[in-house]
Structure formats: C-alpha cells, structure tokens
Amino acid sequence: LDPMGAKGIGEIPLVGFTAAVANAVYHATGKRIRELPITPDKVI
C-alpha cells in the first residue's frame, strides 16, 4: 500500500493467490502457514 492506502493494479490478484497456496500447503502437510514467504523450514 502507498501512503494513500491504494494498491497497484498488479497486486490485487496476489492476495487470493497467496491464500490459495497457503491452503494447499495446509491440505498437503497438515501444517498451517500464516507468514510469507512459505519456505521449506516453515513446512517441516
């Protein structure tokens, strides 16, 4: 976000994408990741 609270147009789809990846990791491993980036150390 910039100081006015606006997002760049390219950033909008990434919000849902990262949540989908985090949910996929959870369903595959059973471990909930709530911080990005998702690294192997966080998953193991």
Which position among 7, 11, 24, 43 bears the catalytic label?
11
Tell me, rounded to whole angstroms, the distance of Cα 39 from its chain centroid.
11
Q: Tokens for 18, please give them.
A: 């990262």
Distance CA 24, CA 18 (A): 10
Q: Is 35 known to be catalytic?
A: no
**Alpha carbon 34 to its chain's center:** 8
Residues with a known catalytic role: 11
